[in-house]
Structure formats: structure tokens, C-alpha cells
Structure 1
């Protein structure tokens, strides 16, 4: 009888501790899901802002416009940057 009571108490304690840890884990998983959603929202906003920036600053268009007006010259010493995937007609760029 004594061993049965000790076994029952140990079993109840184990179940109680297990429930406590499971509830903590569940709460933390909920926080992780919320944070992932926030990160996705921020990434979407970042992509929108980057697209609007690149649309507003079409560097190739600006370069051609300035070359046509004669206000810009190409320098052999300085290499300016270009956007990824953009092909240039002028060598050295």
C-alpha cells in the first residue's frame, strides 16, 4: 500500500510538471508564430520600398538623359555602379 501511494504521488508530480512545461512551450510557440508573421510583414514592406526606390531611380535612364544633354561625361578612371542584371553599351562599366 505504501509503495502504491508513493508511486501515485510520483506519477501525479510527473504529470503536473509535464503539463507545466507543455503550457510554457505552447506559449513560446505562439510567440514565435507571431514574430514570424511580423517578420513577413516587414519583409513585404521592405520589398515594396525597394521596388519604389528602384522605379524612381532608374539609373540607366538618368545616365542616357544626361549624356543627351551633354552635362555628363564618362571618366576612364572612375567606374560607377550598375544595377544587377543591367547590360551597358559602354565598355568599362
Structure 2
């Protein structure tokens, strides 16, 4: 009977320790998931900013080429759109 009680106490202590460490691991995994989401959001923002930068650089290059050629003028009627999440300036017909 004494060995049975010692066995039960040992088994319960092992289960208790196991539950404690599993809960710690679960919390750490939740933190990792959250950080991965934050990194992905930052990467998307970085890609958008880089795309805007490269588009502006290309537009500036085109503008300079057009100004260097004869009979080229700025047009105030150019309609363009912005990247995802921003208002569109183009009106659809």
C-alpha cells in the first residue's frame, strides 16, 4: 500500500511538472507567432515603400528625359493610382 501511494504521488508530480513546462512552451510559441506576424507586417510596409521609391525614381527619370527633348511639356491631366490601401486618383469611365 505504501509503494502504491508513493507511485501515485510520483505520477502526479510528473504530470504537474509536465503541465507547467507545456504551458511555458505554449506561451513562448504564442510570442513567436506574434513576432512573426509583426515581422511580416514590417516586410509588407518595406516592400510598399521600396516600390513607391522606385516608381518615383523612374518617374523623375522619365520627366527629365521628356524635358530634355523638344516639344515636350508637363501635363496636368496625368491620372495615376497609388498602391494598396490608399485612395485611387484615377476615375474609371
Name structure 2 gaps, 5 residues minimum. 71-93
Measured after TM superposition, the shift of residue 68 of structure 1 is 4.2
The runs of at least 4 consecutive aligned structure 1 residues that moved more than 3 Å come to 62-69
Q: CA RMSD in A?
A: 2.0
Give TM-score, length-normalised by structure 2.
Answer: 0.65
- What is the alpha-carbon distance in structure 2 between the residues aligned to residue 32 and residue 38 of structure 1? 10
Matched, 1:55 2:55: yes
SS at 1:57 equivalent:
helix
- What is the alpha-carbon distance in structure 2 between the residues aligned to residue 9 and residue 41 of structure 1? 48
Name structure 1 gaps, 5 residues minimum. 70-93
Counterparts of 1:10-89 in structure 2, within 5 Å, are: 10-58=10-58, 61=62, 64-65=65-66, 68=69
Give TM-score, length-normalised by structure 1.
Answer: 0.65
